[in-house]
Amino acid sequence: MKALDLRLELRKTDKDLRDLIGGLGDFLQQANASRQSLVAASGTFRSGSMQGWRIELEADLARIKELEAALPPADANYKGHSSERLESLLVDRHVLQTEAMKLRDKYEAAMKRDDKDREQIARIRSSFRHPGV
């Protein structure tokens, strides 16, 4: 790949990464609201698992701040960098992207589990209201 192609790829990757990481904080807050709603419905708000959730959430929110700090400025153009340096920067961005996607996937899976648990709570409540149905 020529340096021009590498610069273009790097700028596209930076934008995608900025969009991904920029939305993670709100996404984690949505997941937290989902979990709080679930534990309120199930009566497990003060459980050890909820305390663990909060600790993990705070650590992940702090990690998002670190990822944001690792992002280059939006106006970075990479002129004057060698092809080798551009390749190295692309690899660095891939590492950041992989970590950001793991965080997103982790909380997406948590919200899916919350939805399934909500459905089960609704079925149980329904069976108490309509026994024998």
pLDDT digits (tens, 9 = 90+) for 91-114: 999 999 999 999 999 999 999 999
Residues 83, 71: Cα–Cα separation, whole Å: 20
CB 54, CB 110: distance < 8 Å: no
Residues 44, 35: Cα–Cα separation, whole Å: 10
Residue 50 pLDDT grade (very low, low, confident, very high; cuts 50, 70, 90): confident
Domain ranges for the chain: 3-129
92 or 121: whose pLDDT is higher?
A: 92
The answer to whether residue 133 scores a pLDDT higher than 60 is no
Can you give the pLDDT at residue 43? 75
What secondary structure letter does DSSP report for 46?
Answer: T
Can you give the pLDDT at residue 44? 67
The answer to whether residue 131 scores a pLDDT higher than 70 is no
SS3 per residue for 61-81: HHHHHHHHHHCCCCCCCCCCC
Among residues 123, 126, 130, 121, which one has the least CA distance to residue 43?
A: 121
Average pLDDT score over residue span 14-39: 96
Can you give the pLDDT at residue 62? 98
3-state helix, strand, coil in the chain (%, to 5): 85, 0, 15
Lookup: tokens for 91:
């690899």
